[in-house]
Amino acid sequence: MLFARKVWHLLVAIKDGLVLLFMLLFFLGLYAVLTTRPSAGVVRDGALLVKLDGSVVEEPEPIDPLALLSSRTEPARQHRARDVARAIRAAATDDRIKAVVLDLSSFSGGGLVHMEEIGAAMDTVRAAKKPVLTYAVGYVDDGVLLAAHASEAWVDPLGGAFVMGPGGNRLYFGPLLERLKVTAHVYKVGTYKDFVEPYIRDSASEPSKEARRALYASLWDNWKADVAKARPKADITRVIADPVAWLKSANGDAAQASLAAGLVDRIGTKVAFGDRVRELAGADTASNRPGSFAHTNVAAMLAAHPEASAGKSVAVVTVAGNIVDGKAGPGIAGGDRIARLIDKANADDAAALVLRVDSPGGSVMASEAIRTAAERFKAKQRPVVVSMANLAASGGYWVSTPAQRIFAEPGTITGSIGIFALIPSFEKTLAQYGVKGDGVRTTPLSGQPDVLSGFTPEVEAMMQAGIENGYARFIGLVAKSRNKTPEQIDAIAQGRVWDGGTARQNGLVDQFGGLDDAVAYAAQAAKLGDNWHPQFYGSSANPYATLIERLSGDEENGSDGDGAPGSDLFGIMAERQKVQVAQGFASLQRLIGTRGAQAYCLDCPVTADRSGAVKADESWLVALARLLGA
């Protein structure tokens, strides 16, 4: 009987093993089918379709396929700015491409520098005598800028183009924390280092407003100048001077008002827009859907026009997103991960290094890990160059200090040279419920820092001394990099942010130019002649990308029917309200989530992951409870 039982258990085990094997083979086969790109590298006669359904970023974050399967909503897509611009530029010289189409129906924006880069690529196509068309339901600033570079900008009859301008309010939690008896211990250096102000004040300080006014004014002027140059007939002044009168002049019809102001060229549904593209680029023989047209997507365009790979390599390492400790990323600048990429380029004997920085800063320790890795590369007598995108402030400038030359754009936000630390304690909160701490110390540091019973004066003084030392180190690094004295740097530091133009004037930036200019300069500095190519480290394609695209929706179709997938004015306002609320609670969460000395920029646009400023599975009530129960 025992023998029969053992045989039975063996047969069951064999059966279970075979089932698992066949299931594994099935899912491997399914994955292979879903990730196959039969059209990769094949450019069809027709239009280049650039479907910006999401945001444009310097470095997209990977999508977790398991999180996607368990999520109730589709994750926001992110499009690499460099890829979008390169695909559009390639269309200018590819005879198979008759027109370029930007579908902005679900476009959620990007940084000014990226928008200008894509706009310049659109101008290249128009200079090649090829039409460039855009379509959206609701254009907002970033979309308006792209539409300005189009030969035909279309808007849905139910939509419109709206100019908001930079700026706005942020939440200040000082009175709330005081009411809750939460003590925010702030240690900082810099008159303009205002990142901590929301936790200790009820409004912005005058130095903070002064810096913000100057920054926003410069960015706003750059935006208006770009739009005016690309679309001289656009009456921006009329739209922003009295938006109510402008809208009422068209009886509240935003589409007609946008047309009258020259922000768009034509009004029509998405089907009508697709029919127009079909006239220019040809019909889609594989689809008979209304509004369909022959097209090639960005991925196929890039595959058909690969980047050069001959000659010596100039390494390009991206520092994008918040700078954090550890291996996080891409899309988040994990200090250890980026340092390893730089060391890999160093071990590969890359002829030069270009750091592409698009970050508002973050952890001082992580920033220092990246900086020292760049110094190790530089120690081998090879050029290190920095290319700043939208943001290179605080920790983003810290990592830039090894550069022998810094490139930026007029719309780049940089500077914010200063550091801080922020730690909450709850001794007053507990005391109002009769809970107090007591004990015996052998030294003033025993049991410190104590977030439940309070900090000793010695700990407070030591914390501030540490931050002051960190600031002195920061301005020392910048002074050495910029060939100035620490006193000269201190005068333009103090945590103040600068636009790229002013930063060039005060010596924090060397010259204007994009990533291509920085790479070309690095190659010249390395004396490579014309025999070189850029090699991008850490930007390999996501192996799950196509699977995720197909699971989450249509990845390349030119028309989705006669519907209006974007948003009208009310939808735009609702979305901005949602983002504002999420950012507010994200700021509140930072009070208990900050670790160690930080070099962040308050005036920089908020960077968030695909799920937004607050975790997708965490409501604002949970976020508040987490803070109050910390």
d(CA 259, CA 24) in angstroms, rounded, equals 56
**What is the three-class DSSP state of 98?**
strand
Rounded to the nearest 10 degrees, the angle between the axes of helix 112-127 and helix 81-93 is 10
**Burial of 592: CB neighbours in 10 Å, binned 0-12, 13-18, 19+:** middle
Residue type, 20: L
Largest CA distance in the chain: 94
Asked, as a colleague might, if the bond just before 330 is cis with ω within 30 of 0, I would say: yes
Q: Are 281 and 98 in contact (CB under 8 A)?
A: yes
Q: Are 613 and 580 in contact (CB under 8 A)?
A: no
Residues sharing a CB contact under 8 Å with residue 221, sequence separation 6 or more, in sequence order? none
Under DSSP, the state recorded for 291 is T
Nearest to 377 by CA among 400, 347, 404, 408: 347
Nearest to 399 by CA among 349, 363, 350: 363
d(CA 9, CA 15) in angstroms, rounded, equals 10
Sign of CA dihedral 542, 543, 548, 550: positive
Question: Which residue has 């680029």 as its token pair?
Answer: 281
d(CA 338, CA 332) in angstroms, rounded, equals 10
- Give the distance from CA 46 to its chain's centroid: 31
Q: Are 242 and 257 in contact (CB under 8 A)?
A: no
Strand order in the sheet with 152-161: 266-267, 152-161, 132-139, 97-103, 46-51, 295-297
d(CA 627, CA 614) in angstroms, rounded, equals 13
Return the percent helix, strand and coil in the chain, to nearest 5: 45, 20, 35
* 539 tagged catalytic: no
- Give the distance from CA 572 to its chain's centroid: 20
Nearest to 113 by CA among 388, 317, 386: 388
d(CA 265, CA 153) in angstroms, rounded, equals 5
Q: Name the catalytic one among 51, 98, 193, 270.
A: 193
Q: Are 277 and 99 in contact (CB under 8 A)?
A: yes
- 362 phi-psi bin (left φ>0, alpha ψ -120 to 50, beta other): left
Nearest to 354 by CA among 538, 86, 499, 110: 538
Nearest to 420 by CA among 210, 581, 200, 172: 200
Q: Name the catalytic one among 292, 394, 400, 567.
A: 394
* 258 tagged catalytic: no
d(CA 262, CA 270) in angstroms, rounded, equals 20
Sign of CA dihedral 62, 65, 67, 72: positive
d(CA 269, CA 332) in angstroms, rounded, equals 38
Active-site annotation, residues: 193, 394
